[in-house]
């Protein structure tokens, strides 16, 4: 149960009239999404019991208990693209009219949003706390909420789906005394949903089965209008708590939010040409079982993110997550779970293994790396730039090669294992006049010839190999007279192209 649920439940138990006014929670979430970089007032998935955000009031007396004979005739209703068949005498309630999606005057985010509610009585006012009504308590309540489109995790499951038990911490509360709760999440017709069912102890077997039949009868039409503005990019567990990373389209582009049962945070306003990684993180779990979820947005040219925890812990690598173009074609995203120790250095690599961005979880700019203690390969000069080339072993079959100058650095994660590509490449361009470009490459013994697009056809061949502590089959080369931009082509002994990379 979230802090928000606990606070509202406590208020209800003390005095039903002290419950929050309609829409308070939705307004808090709306404000948070607009600010984009602060903690959410409550989890977007865990709202009071059956997802109702607040209490709109309860009627003093209910005139029906909603009990339905097993052979009662049924009716079918369609609401918000969901068709459901249920016993005559039950009621499908419009969540907007019932105040379950109360928001500020300005438009609220599309998702999450309750799109259908089912009740044995013709009112949605009791969803917040049926236990305080005078008269007969309803035998059940059901809501269906549409979520951001899930691209990963359990909620990508196809319909039909089974209901699972759900503990919302109401056993001792006055709102749902002794109620049983069930939940299911699924994706159908390009839309993702979550259903929550609450069953009172007094529910009869006929009503119970009729409710399950109504749930199973649902069919779903595709969404209307523009493509979904939010998607679930990834799900996972950290510190024993489940989380999901959601990408949303906002007026200024991509927004990312990390959502869990006890916590939510969001960030946006990303720079398409950053000079360092912008990182957001949160630590989950109790003492001794704490883990940190790290996430952020990166330009589309980034393909891999690698984290380097302190104390020589193993590096953590992950591929970026594709953000749908209709949300923001400029960016992709990343998320990974690491130990809680701070700071953790992160590198962002392009498809060729070049380090394009760096950052740390500490919230400050990470200083440029110093030469690796493993090996300083060479110290040189390109026009007015003094630089140092160094190597560090970061994992089996992986070495980090860094070129560090006074005010800039480049690097890449080199594959030095059995399956290494024939050609790996980075380049360094001195930012001071008159400039100058240095090309650093790693070749395997499969390469018999190297050609440069910037040199005459008769100027080719394998460059001189620099001494470095790589396996014997690798050749490290440095060249500074091949132009400021171009391509390097690696050929085998038969003259066939086996590798190609561009610079800078």
What's the Cα-to-Cα distance from 358 to each of 79, 344, 354, 363, 425, rounded to whole Å?
Answer: 48, 11, 11, 12, 18
Confirm if 75 and 88 have CB atoms less than 8 A apart.
yes
The closest alpha carbon to 185, from 171, 167, 168, 166, belongs to 166
The three-point CA angle 135-136-138 to 5° equals 135
Confirm if 244 and 337 have CB atoms less than 8 A apart.
no
Confirm if 159 and 188 have CB atoms less than 8 A apart.
yes
Q: Is the pLDDT of residue 106 over 60?
A: no
- Could you tell me which CATH number the domain at 230-360 has? 2.60.40
Confirm if 471 and 445 have CB atoms less than 8 A apart.
no
Pairwise CA distance, residues 267 & 443, whole Å: 41
The pLDDT value recorded for residue 373 is 53
Asked whether the bond before 193 is cis by omega within 30 degrees of 0, the reply is no
User: Which 3-state string (H, E, C) describes 160-190?
Assistant: CCCCEECCCCCCCCCCCCCCEEEEEEEEECC
Max mean pLDDT among 119-133, 219-233, 298-312, 365-379 falls in 298-312
The pLDDT value recorded for residue 134 is 63
Distance of alpha carbon 86 from the chain centroid: 37
Question: In this predicted model, what pLDDT tens digit does every residue of 213-256 receive, in sequence order?
Answer: 999 999 999 876 544 577 889 999 998 888 989 888 877 788 88
Q: Is the pLDDT of residue 55 over 70?
A: no
Pairwise CA distance, residues 18 & 359, whole Å: 47
Q: Is the pLDDT of residue 496 over 80?
A: yes
Asked whether the bond before 434 is cis by omega within 30 degrees of 0, the reply is yes
pTM over 0.85: no
Q: Is the pLDDT of residue 135 over 70?
A: no
Residues of the chain with CATH 2.60.40: 230-360
Q: What percent of the residues of the chain are helix, what percent strand, and what percent coil, each to the nearest 5?
A: 10, 45, 45
Average pLDDT for the chain: 76
Pairwise CA distance, residues 120 & 118, whole Å: 7
Q: How confident is the model at residue 9 (pLDDT cuts 50, 70, 90)?
A: very low
Sequence-distant (6+) residues with CB within 8 A of 197 are 140, 141, 142, 163, 181, 182, 183, 211, 215
Pairwise CA distance, residues 285 & 135, whole Å: 43
What are 146's two structure tokens? 């549409």
Confirm if 474 and 442 have CB atoms less than 8 A apart.
yes
Q: Is the pLDDT of residue 335 over 60?
A: yes
**Torsion 286-288-291-292 (CA) sign:** positive
Q: How confident is the model at residue 128 (pLDDT cuts 50, 70, 90)?
A: low
Which strand (E) or helix (H) includes residue 5? helix 3-14
Q: How confident is the model at residue 102 (pLDDT cuts 50, 70, 90)?
A: low
Which strand (E) or helix (H) includes residue 208? helix 205-216
Pairwise CA distance, residues 105 & 182, whole Å: 33
User: Where is pLDDT greater, at 327 or 335?
Assistant: 335
Question: In this predicted model, what pLDDT tens digit does every residue of 402-413 receive, in sequence order?
Answer: 888 766 677 777
User: Tokens 């708590």 sit at which residue?
Assistant: 241
The pLDDT value recorded for residue 188 is 92
Q: How many CB atoms lie within 10 A of CB 20?
A: 18
């Amino acid at each position: 149960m979230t802090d928000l649920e606990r606070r509202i439940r406590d208020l209800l138990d003390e005095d039903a009239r002290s419950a929050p006014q309609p829409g308070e929670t939705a307004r808090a979430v709306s404000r948070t999404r607009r600010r984009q970089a602060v903690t959410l007032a409550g989890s977007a998935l865990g709202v009071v019991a059956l997802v109702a955000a607040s209490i709109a009031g309860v009627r003093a007396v209910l005139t029906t208990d909603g009990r339905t004979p097993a052979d009662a005739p049924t009716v079918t209703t369609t609401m918000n693209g969901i068709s459901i068949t249920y016993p005559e005498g039950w009621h499908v309630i419009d969540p907007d009219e019932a105040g379950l999606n109360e928001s500020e005057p300005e438009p609220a985010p599309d998702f999450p949003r309750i799109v259908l509610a089912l009740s044995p009585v013709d009112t949605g006012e009791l969803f917040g706390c049926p236990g305080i009504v005078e008269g007969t308590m309803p035998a059940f309540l059901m809501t269906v909420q549409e979520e951001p489109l899930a691209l990963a995790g359990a909620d990508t499951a196809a319909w039909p789906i089974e209901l699972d038990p759900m503990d919302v911490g109401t056993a001792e509360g006055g709102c749902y005394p002794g109620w049983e709760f069930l939940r299911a999440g699924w994706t159908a017709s390009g839309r993702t949903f979550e259903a929550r069912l609450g069953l009172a102890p007094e529910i009869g077997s006929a009503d119970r089965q009729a409710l399950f039949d109504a749930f199973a009868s649902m069919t779903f039409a595709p969404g209307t209008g523009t493509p979904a503005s939010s998607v679930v990019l990834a799900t996972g567990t950290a510190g024993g708590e489940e989380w999901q990373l959601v990408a949303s389209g906002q007026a200024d582009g991509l927004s990312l939010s990390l959502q869990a049962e006890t916590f939510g945070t969001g960030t946006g306003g990303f720079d398409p040409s950053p000079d360092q990684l912008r990182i957001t993180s949160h630590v989950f779990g109790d003492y001794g079982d704490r883990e940190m979820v790290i996430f952020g947005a990166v330009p589309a040219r980034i393909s891999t993110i690698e984290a380097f925890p302190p104390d020589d812990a193993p590096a953590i690598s992950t591929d970026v997550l594709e953000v749908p173009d209709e949300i923001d074609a400029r960016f992709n995203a990343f998320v990974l779970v690491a130990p809680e120790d701070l700071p953790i250095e992160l590198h962002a690599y392009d498809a060729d293994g070049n380090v394009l961005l760096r950052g740390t979880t500490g919230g400050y700019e990470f200083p440029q790396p110093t030469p690796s203690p493993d090996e300083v390969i060479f110290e040189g000069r390109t026009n007015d730039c003094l630089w140092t080339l160094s190597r560090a072993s970061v994992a089996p079959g992986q070495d980090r090669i860094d070129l560090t100058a006074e005010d800039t650095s480049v690097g890449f994660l080199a594959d030095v294992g059995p399956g290494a590509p024939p050609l790996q490449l980075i380049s360094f361009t001195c930012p001071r006049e008159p400039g100058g470009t240095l090309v650093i490459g790693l070749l395997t013994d499969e390469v018999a010839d190297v050609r440069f697009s910037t040199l005459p056809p008769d100027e080719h061949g394998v460059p001189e190999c620099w001494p470095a502590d790589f396996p014997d089959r690798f050749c490290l080369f440095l060249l500074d007279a091949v132009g400021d931009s171009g391509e390097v082509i690696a050929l085998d002994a038969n003259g066939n192209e086996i590798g190609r990379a561009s610079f800078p």
